Amino acid sequence: MSDPTSTVSNAFMAFMKEAPGQANAWGAMVQGLAQASALDPKTLALAYLAVLAALRLESGVPFHVQAAKQAGASREEIISALLVGLPAAGHGVTQVLPAALAALGSE
């Protein structure tokens, strides 16, 4: 990923620009939680995508797809992570697929 900000949503970019103190605090918390996790970076990235899909938070998907790819996740693993919640969360998890597929490109 050459420019990490190219996959960051407009809403998050506005948050970072207009509330830098809160954005820095948020970033520190996120980094702290990642460091405290027993999951390896790839598994953590895939699990995060599963949560985004279950919550239908489409705007974060492109950034986190790229993070999962950088952590070594394959296209198939990313799609599977997005769909893992189907039994519990229902068909709504498919709502994030278009954003994920666009972020994955034509690999």
Would you write out the chain's pLDDT as a tens digit for each of its 107 residues? 445 557 888 999 999 999 999 999 999 999 999 999 999 999 999 999 999 999 999 999 999 999 999 999 999 999 999 999 999 999 999 999 999 999 999 76
pLDDT at position 6: 76
Q: Does residue 85 contact residue 50 with C-beta atoms inside 8 Å? A: yes
- Closest CA relative to residue 48, chosen from 28, 23, 69: 69
Rounded Cα distance between 104 and 32, Å, is: 27
Which pLDDT score is estimated for 5?
A: 55
| Orientation angle between helical segments 75-83 and 97-104, nearest 10 degrees | 170
* Predicted local distance difference test score (pLDDT) of residue 15: 94
